[in-house]
Structure 1
């Protein structure tokens, strides 16, 4: 039995690695691939159970795809396999984005601090944000009240872009829509909710200890871990919603990156497989560039650990009693407000990322063109970014030749 189980573990980890290297195109493509590999081919889980599990991950803070992979691993082989699958899933994307940070830093140091090669992919990143906003809003906004909440949160995020305002807005949004619980369908069969607090205690302990150590030691890697861990604990709505949080904290608030560097990294992160939260590794690496190569690697790995761990702890905590909790109407009603605020963040992100860019006709055409390609063409998303990078490199070569 033990040998059979170990073989099954090995096969599961191999499947996760294949996903991490081939899952281009965002959460929709990821879910289709999971159904094909883990449901139809391997039968680790039924399709109904998978969709319910994915829905649970969507309403929890943290990276949805990562939580889904970890949760399936948890059901197949318990906590040990779950954490191994987490590592296998995030490692390729993390290493690719750390390498991207090294490339950006090298090119800047050899081109007088400029990123001319990224001239075109920066406005392309705005096109990606607008496209992501449309898809997310279509899925999450289903009432006038939610639309108003979305616009109010976007307005607040425009003018009060402190990272500390975001979690407050999420809580308020959830509380506002709880009064609509009577519109939710009644589920008569309610079972007693039995809660095991172990994983919640681990999540909260790490958060508190990291915050205290970061505050009193002022050691940059510890502070980075706390920053990303806090963001990973508060992000509802997936990787696209993460963007305004990270931009506000690390560009506007702490000035660890320039707007140009952030946009370039975000655009490149859209062209690689695996979790979209891997952009955090890029940000962490550039935040520690003054520490040299070892510092950049440390920053990238610390950021990855910080952003991915809280969602894993929380899914392990909630999965045990979610089936009972979701039957209560106020819980489901609160999710509408949380999702509406998250959509407002996306709208704000498009504006905040465009504001520091040069306001010219070419940038606007590139933004609109990128959106049209994503919305109406069948060109793979990574190929669009590769095309932009290629044109940018040619543009920089011409500039250097003049």
Structure 2
């Protein structure tokens, strides 16, 4: 980082340092998911610092919404790219994710510590149903935006049924691809835009694809758990459209229902805790990585966090670097815009299916049902920040 900053001209170096300080402030203070993140990006990066215009920020955010990966992370990384090129973009990514990753890694180690000493996780009993409430509200809010007609409603319902009946990590990409292809066929409804020839620089695409293939091959050959964890998260990070709430069912299917690396209770505790952490929700991967390598000691747990974090964040970074350079031309193609409707509808269905699967075991326990319903009501009808709810749930669990 210092080598890069010292290599640029003094005026630009000072500007880059100030920008990275702003990124750190955002990483420590942005709670609440992509929508809240975008508002805070606007306040600090546009209104206060004027690194870019409001139109430029909204356009970058729109681009990141159609790419797989963490929307907020890709947006702020793209801002760094716009200001200072790829080197500043990578520094932006590291500073943005570091606080959340450190906190969720510590949370995973803490959960393992308690379990090893036969200490109860009962203090988190309110957090688990609250996490389901968060998921329900996220799915509802996404559905309000993306389900606009009978086709998108049918795709969402089909995604719910497919994900619920066939609980395999391989079902997720199938559902998303089918959704995108279905609405891509309706491209004629999209407004025509004047097209220009695409001028594509393929380096970052081949980098993304090369890492994908090499990780899958090495995982199959070596059967090394760290390599397989990296491949698992890299694959999920390459296929998730819609942010953290869509990532949740993918991770649950893969690491709880399919591979049994985590228990349902551990997964829900982490899902609740990540709502109280500033920065990207994708830092949940760090927590899962720690617990997936719990048998390898402290060194192994830290290694699990590192490979899982790299796996989940790198695909979106490679892809934003790739697409950003020809986005102006790409967005003019009607089939691209049309496919987004199906992808978003299918993602909504996946979120709903995850909420159903996680809620089902709670039905016989009325206190858990009450907490889920109360969480939904508070999120929908009040302005209480999510992290305040989670901290209150932890406090109640400890006191009671």
**Residue in 2 that maps onto 1:368:** 373
**Residue in 2 that maps onto 1:175:** 181
**Residue in 2 that maps onto 1:400:** none
Distance in 2 (CA, whole Å) between partners of 1:272 and 1:339 is 26
Q: Conserved in 2, the CA contact under 8 Å of 1:259 and 1:356?
A: no
Deviations, residues 251-279 of structure 1 (Å, cap 9, x unaligned): 01110000000000000000110001000
Could you tell me which of 30, 36, 39 is aligned with 1:32? 39
Alignment TM-score, normalising by the size of structure 2:
0.96
Deviations, residues 51-73 of structure 1 (Å, cap 9, x unaligned): 01101101100000110111011
Distance in 2 (CA, whole Å) between partners of 1:227 and 1:26 is 23
**Residue in 1 that maps onto 2:210:** 205
1:160 to partner: Cα distance = 0.5
Provide closer, same or farther for how the CA distance between residues 358 and 116 of structure 1 changes in structure 2, counting only shifts above 3 A: farther
**Residue in 1 that maps onto 2:167:** 161
1:358 to partner: Cα distance = 6.0
**Residue in 1 that maps onto 2:279:** 274
1:316 to partner: Cα distance = 0.7
**Residue in 2 that maps onto 1:318:** 323
1:180 to partner: Cα distance = 1.4
> Which SS does the other structure have where 1:162 is aligned?
coil
Distance in 2 (CA, whole Å) between partners of 1:314 and 1:116 is 41
**Residue in 2 that maps onto 1:254:** 259
1:394 to partner: Cα distance = 2.2
Q: Does 1:85 align with 2:92?
A: yes
Distance in 1 (CA, whole Å) between partners of 2:171 and 2:245 is 18
Could you tell me which of 202, 220, 225 is aligned with 1:220? 225
Q: Conserved in 2, the CA contact under 8 Å of 1:57 and 1:68?
A: yes
Q: Conserved in 2, the CA contact under 8 Å of 1:154 and 1:347?
A: yes
Supply the RMSD in Å over aligned alpha carbons: 1.1
Q: Which moved more, 1:24-33 or 1:226-235?
A: 24-33
Q: Does 1:120 align with 2:111?
A: no
> Which SS does the other structure have where 1:355 is aligned?
helix
Alignment TM-score, normalising by the size of structure 1:
0.96
Aligned ranges 1:183-202 → 2 under 5 Å: 183-187=189-193, 189-202=194-207
Distance in 2 (CA, whole Å) between partners of 1:329 and 1:75 is 26
> Which SS does the other structure have where 2:186 is aligned?
helix
Q: Does 1:57 align with 2:72?
A: no
1:355 to partner: Cα distance = 2.8
Distance in 1 (CA, whole Å) between partners of 2:382 and 2:330 is 41
Distance in 2 (CA, whole Å) between partners of 1:20 and 1:186 is 39
Distance in 2 (CA, whole Å) between partners of 1:26 and 1:296 is 26
Q: Which moved more, 1:349-358 or 1:331-340?
A: 349-358
1:356 to partner: Cα distance = 3.7
Q: Which moved more, 1:56-65 or 1:372-381?
A: 372-381
Distance in 2 (CA, whole Å) between partners of 1:358 and 1:206 is 43
**Residue in 1 that maps onto 2:24:** 17
Distance in 2 (CA, whole Å) between partners of 1:156 and 1:290 is 34
| Structure 1 unmatched ranges of 5 or more | 396-402
| Structure 2 unmatched ranges of 5 or more | 1-7
